[in-house]
Structure 1
């Protein structure tokens, strides 16, 4: 095998497919990138048995062939080459000679026949949406995915695809994020996509107008965008019936300026650490919202004026990070909070409509009164 290609193209492709590679794979060959050179293109693949990423780039193939090169080392070498053309050649001793300018490396190559084939997913065309929408769907929900896998289904995001509507849901037992968008789709399906797949997709997708094609069935999802194909196994299991936990009524409705609320919460959070935790005690009243907190580091009282308020005054305890996440990721100037009681989940919504719903569980105070 021998090929030459543009250094920047090759470096970007290595970086993209490496997102599917784990450093401590059970099979050593999976720590490498599979390379196949034929015709006028080079195909690169990264795979960890759960997610696979593939891309093609133009190259001058002098001797067609295939090999596997250790991803981290290969990527570091190519990225540090001078700009211009990089040449990769496999010699008879099973070594890969990588050269660019006057620099030349020689590293062991792994046997391509040992590299597992990506599964034939048989995923069916489901929908195509703009990158800008895909990015928004992930960014406004991914923070609420469960990190631990006590219930594996909650370590991913639920995509409910139905005629004319896409709903994306994430939850971790303390907060819930739901976003809905009108889309054109070809089928009706509910799938749970691993959070890791969505996080890596975010890093690969291109400009805002670039389309993201989504194919899916009950076992796999395949994203095609920006010259990459990302294949992922889905998470099996039952996702929580999220609609049943959303409060239908509210005793208090508060409209707040997001920046004012975030600034207040961030100041109050200065005395909270991972070791010294305590909930924020937030009192909602028509003329002001007061935030209090006390930890061994100190005591804080802060306040700001709400835009408007209807209903009863109420005091609620919150985990500072969970509430801050909901406010920050909404990316709204103003938000509506619907509160039904000190121990009922608080709904965080746009001022008008329900394009998204964030649910934050309150914290019960240890020493009431």
Structure 2
């Protein structure tokens, strides 16, 4: 095999594909990247039995062939090369990379031992990549990071015709985001539980390339994403996701609206004195919200902001980290808190004006910390 390709093109392609490599591969060959040179293009792929990634780039192919080389090492080498064309050539069980005066010899691994890559299922529909990336970023903050509960480390995707609903929870908060898409089959109804980490990688690396194809396998075991000549597949998380939609209250008599950026900064400042596992308290009254943290002889902080309140005065307390992450996911000028009673979950949604209706395409439900007098 022998080919020539620009360093920047090769480095980006290798780096993207190597992202999917497992840090602890089950067998040595799965630490490698499978590189095929044929028909005027270069195919680079990775696979760890759970996630696969594959792309094609244009290259000057002098001699067709297939090699398997250490992915992480190749990625580091490509990033370190000078900005100039790279020539890659095999010599027996070795592969040589040459770029100006730099030359690297790498050992290859047996291609015959590499497992067959899963095929991308038939495309189920298309979604705007930027909108998909934003939706994923808003939802994954609520996914659990505790691997002892693998089901909660996933994001549930519910598809009903032209609407995708993303759901995630770690038992202390819940995020729901609705997104329109164009299904290949009108009236489609399906669901998938995808690892939050996988969705995040897809959103970051494929979301900005225009339209994103989403493919669900017929056996409900695999999901695939494709955009800009890059494709990735992932096994779905196995198990029954809890029915968390019912946690959103049907009726919320108390509503408070606050400017998003001002509240984010106030929470950041006040929570500086919140010791580990202690909450930030928010007291909503007509015309303002007062934030405070700290008790007794410890450091204390408080800050008041303008707010609009509909309903009775209410005081609630939240984990400052969960509150900050939730507020940071809203791009709207204002956020609206909807309450039933202080000990019950609060729902945060987007609002464009200080008074008016909220937008419900994204909702963040947060469990409060119970105060002593509640």
> In the alignment, which residue of structure 1 is the partner of 2:350?
350
- The correspondence of residues 146-157 of structure 1 with structure 2, limited to 5 A, is 146-157=144-155
| Distance in 2, Cα, partners of 1:357 & 1:133 | 16
In the alignment, is the contact (CA less than 8 A) between 1:252 and 1:310 conserved in 2?
Answer: yes
Question: Paired residue for 1:173, among 171, 175, 178?
Answer: 171
The SS at the match of 1:330 is: coil
Cα deviation, 1:76-96, whole Å, max 9, x if unaligned, reads: 21222222211111112x111
CA distance in 2, matches of 1:82, 1:282: 55
Residues 128 and 181 of structure 2 are in contact (CA less than 8 Å); yes or no, is this contact kept in structure 1?
no
Aligned 8 A contact 1:206 1:226 in 2: no
Establish whether residue 360 from structure 1 lines up as the match of residue 359 from structure 2: no
Shift in alpha-carbon separation, 1:183–1:63, aligned structure 2, 3 A: closer
Pairs aligned (count)? 362
Offset at residue 286 of structure 1 (A): 0.9
CA contact (8 A) 2:216 2:222 kept: yes
Q: Is the Cα contact below 8 Å between 1:35 and 1:68 reproduced in 2? A: yes
* TM-score of the pair, normalised by structure 2: 0.92
**Structure 1 segment 63-212 matched on structure 2, within 5 A:** 63-92=63-92, 94-120=93-119, 123-185=121-183, 186=185, 187-205=188-206, 207=208, 210-212=210-212
Extract structure 1 runs of 4+ deviating beyond 3 A. none
Q: Tell me how far apart the structure 1 counterparts of residues 204 and 161 of structure 2 sit (CA, whole Å).
A: 28
> Quick check: 1:204–1:226 contact (8 Å CA) kept in 2?
no
Q: Equivalent residues in 2 for 1:234-249 (5 A)?
A: 234-249=236-251
TM (norm. structure 1) is: 0.94
Maintained 8 Å contact 2:132/2:207: no
Going from structure 1 to structure 2, the CA distance change for 1:282 and 1:125 (only over 3 Å counts) comes to: same
Contact kept, 8 Å, 2:11 with 2:79, in 1: the verdict is yes
**Alignment RMSD (CA, Å):** 1.7
The 1:148/1:262 distance shift into structure 2, 3 A limit, reads same
Find the aligned partners of 2:305 and 2:207 in 1 and give their Cα distance.
40
